Chains A and B, each alone.
Chain A
Amino acid sequence: MKPLAALMLSLVLLPWAAVAETRIDVTYLHVETPQPPVLSNLDPEPADLGLAGAQLAQQDNATTGRFLGHVYTLDAVSIPLDQDPLAAARQALTGTDLLIVDAPADVLLAIADLPEAAKALIFNTSAEDISLRSQDCRANILHSAPSLAMRTDALAQFLVKRRWTKLAMIEGSHPEDMAFATALEHSAEKFGLKIGARKTWAFDADMRRQAAQEVPLFTQDLGTYDALLVADETGDFGRYIAYNTWLPRPVAGSEGLTATAWAPVVEQWGAAQLQSRFRALTGRQMHPQDYAAWAALRSIGEAVTRGATSDAPTLHEFLMSADFELAGFKGRPLTYRAWNGQLRQPIPLTHPRALVTQAPLEGFLHQRTELDTLGLDAPESDCAAYAA
């Protein structure tokens, strides 16, 4: 079924003793970004968002490493708003070539373009920008976070399956909202859905008190539609839309039915174990960004286990090879796309209480793997760095 690497053959290993030690040092870089105010503070962002996922993977890797003589370290660096992220990245790169980065796209690219990072391997665990998987890709970046396109394609597949083909959309005015709305638009086109009326949310009133009065009126002129898309990626107004729409319609997008890399309600395929290990470690639920960071560091661990090297270029080569696969608790092996370094992965579609389904949905076919029906396929990506 797949070529078996010679190095995997009969690795018989003594526990703990008598094994040459390999060190794998990884730095987790968190670049703080200003958070816009939101209407409700019901769900504050955890202070260790993302990092906690890396810490869990560090434990997983260390346990495996114990049997193989591999020693893993994870150094966490958080860069405050008033400090230069590039200086911190340079500093980190003096100690390791393996970075896990939680930063906006522009900062991520600036870090990747540092001369010190030429031979580094950087995992993007938070920036979902489609451009990073296309014209702005870099040869030293892998993306464990799904792109916006993967998320919105997942949603579009579900809408097609349910034949909710006539859509309306409410979008916020933050850049993240607009990027998500654009991605929804592309996915709608790709899968033959029609987005009719679109409105921008631009209220100043406090919707915690006014939603019941305002939202029915605000949605009255959206015409007829099967489902209402909400593009509110900062979590500002979206939570007040459901049940307040003029027409009784399901809500999807940033609220209601959401498509994300991970959700606390995912429990199939052994996911319950990952969730409970995460809860035991952190005392909170696992968010998509935690999953992306976990997948990044576990990718490193898996590559080291199978290839037994800590050298970044060799690891990178192994991660892109047919010998690599990650068991990511999503029911299928996860691999990296050769054309842009994106981690292929199923996308759970969930509401706050349960998994609705998981994309790719049955019936969406692809000549390589159905997973490539989500996000940029090879012909759609203008990534030159990986084409080389």
Chain B
Amino acid sequence: MTILRTAALLALVTMPASGAEIWVTNEKDDTISVIDVDTLEVIRTLPTGERPRGITFSHDFSRVYICASDSDTVQVMDPVSGEILHDLPSGEDPEQFVLHPDDRHLYIANEDDAITTVVDTETRRVVAQIDVGIEPEGMAVSPDGKVAITTSETTNMAHWIDTETQKLFANTLVDSRPRHAEFVKDGRELWVSSEIGGTITVFDTATQAEIAKIAFEVDGIHPDRVQPVGFEFTQGDSHAFVALGPSNHLAVVNAETYEVEDYILVGRRVWHMAFSPDKDLLFTTNGVSGDVTVVDVAKRTAIKSIKVGRFPWGAALRP
């Protein structure tokens, strides 16, 4: 017993293993691939409901929430056992969601119904349903929890929801087919990507006024195919890494000047991404090539492709 413990302790000391994992939803395999951040290998494949897309962890990482779009539910999984604990009522066709800073309420985009559903994960009840535009997808919530955002792909708007009243208080137009939204810089700015418009619109949160628009240009690729979708921010929100869909590139955007500094070749139809714990590695889901590209954030180069399931979509870090 003592020997075993000593051996385990020694192993921990000699191998600086973080134990961190990247969880990737495979839209057309109904599974999650779990990637070990140290070995960059898939160490587990877990079955889910139909067409898993959005994925996020509770704040203490004791539960993982999964949008099982075609099962019309949000599943709650125990990340240790991989067992589905229960389903949450989610409205029809949940595609993407965001967990409120209160660690309790999920704001869910119901793609087929033009509705945003608010679910209390403790009581497992629907708290509110809010009419939004056609094909809601991108979801964000401000760090102070006061504002939630739904973007609608066909209506082409960011809908601003007051989380106190669960009512819309503003609707701002963006370019065609908005896909993803994030609050940055302590909530002062809201970024929204437009897939078909080929831009990211930056809003001032306080006034909902547009303050910048970022466009992309990849050498040798027609602008039509440069389609920003998911994006994430580096340490201190200094740079954004933006997935550019079928152009098979990431863009690195300076978040202060709004200028694109670099493009990085990754897998085909890159969708979403997640960082390693200290944000030195970035993992992108590549829908068409069925793999995950690992990017060295400091060097801005792809260092490895990891085969996952069919049509990887969402990604989340489990530290």
A: residues with CB less than 8 A from B are 1-2, 4, 8-15, 59-60, 63-64, 67-68, 270, 273, 276-277, 280, 302, 305-306, 325-327, 331-333, 369-371
Give, as a whole number of angstroms, the nearest-CB distance from A59 to chain B: 8
A1-B224 in contact (CB<8A): no
B172-A10 in contact (CB<8A): yes
A333-B171 in contact (CB<8A): no
B196-A1 in contact (CB<8A): no
Tell me which residues across on chain B come within 8 A of A4, comparing CB atoms: 213
B171-A325 in contact (CB<8A): no
> Given the interface contacts A63-B114, A276-B112, A370-B222, does A1 sit within 8 Å of B217 by beta carbon?
yes
B173-A305 in contact (CB<8A): yes
- What would be 30 A-B contacts, judged by CB atoms less than 8 Å apart? A1-B199, A1-B215, A1-B216, A1-B217, A2-B198, A2-B215, A4-B213, A9-B210, A10-B172, A10-B210, A12-B172, A12-B208, A13-B172, A14-B169, A60-B134, A63-B114, A64-B157, A67-B133, A67-B155, A67-B171, A68-B171, A270-B153, A270-B177, A276-B112, A277-B134, A305-B173, A325-B196, A332-B224, A333-B197, A371-B224
Q: Which of A10, A11, A64, A371 contacts B133 (CB 8 A)?
A: A64
Chain B, 157-178, CB within 8 A of any chain A CB: 157, 159, 167-173, 176-177
Alpha-carbon distance between A2 and B210 when the two chains are bound, in angstroms: 17
B171-A63 in contact (CB<8A): no
* Additional A-B contacts beyond A10-B172, A327-B177 (4; CB < 8 A): A4-B213, A327-B153, A327-B195, A331-B246
Tell me which residues across on chain B come within 8 A of A68, comparing CB atoms: 171
Tell me which residues across on chain A come within 8 A of B196, comparing CB atoms: 325, 327, 332-333
Looking at chain B's contact residues, the main secondary structure is: loop
Tell me which residues across on chain A come within 8 A of B276, comparing CB atoms: none
B135-A270 in contact (CB<8A): yes
Tell me which residues across on chain A come within 8 A of B151, comparing CB atoms: none
B157-A67 in contact (CB<8A): yes
- CB of B154 within 8 Å of the partner chain: yes
B156-A64 in contact (CB<8A): yes
Closest to B216 in A: A1
Alpha-carbon distance between A347 and B219 when the two chains are bound, in angstroms: 25
Alpha-carbon distance between A14 and B167 when the two chains are bound, in angstroms: 11
B173-A11 in contact (CB<8A): yes
B155-A63 in contact (CB<8A): yes
Chain B, 180-205, CB within 8 A of any chain A CB: 195-199
Tell me which residues across on chain A come within 8 A of B216, comparing CB atoms: 1
Give, as a whole number of angstroms, the nearest-CB distance from A383 to chain B: 24
Alpha-carbon distance between A67 and B111 when the two chains are bound, in angstroms: 18
> Given the interface contacts A9-B210, A270-B153, does A64 sit within 8 Å of B176 by beta carbon?
no
A12-B153 in contact (CB<8A): no
Q: Which of B111, B156, B208 contacts A305 (CB 8 A)?
A: B156
> Given the interface contacts A1-B223, A326-B176, A370-B222, does A12 sit within 8 Å of B155 by beta carbon?
no
Tell me which residues across on chain A come within 8 A of B199, comparing CB atoms: 1
Give, as a whole number of angstroms, the nearest-CB distance from A319 to chain B: 14
A325-B197 in contact (CB<8A): yes
Chain B, 99-122, CB within 8 A of any chain A CB: 111-112, 114
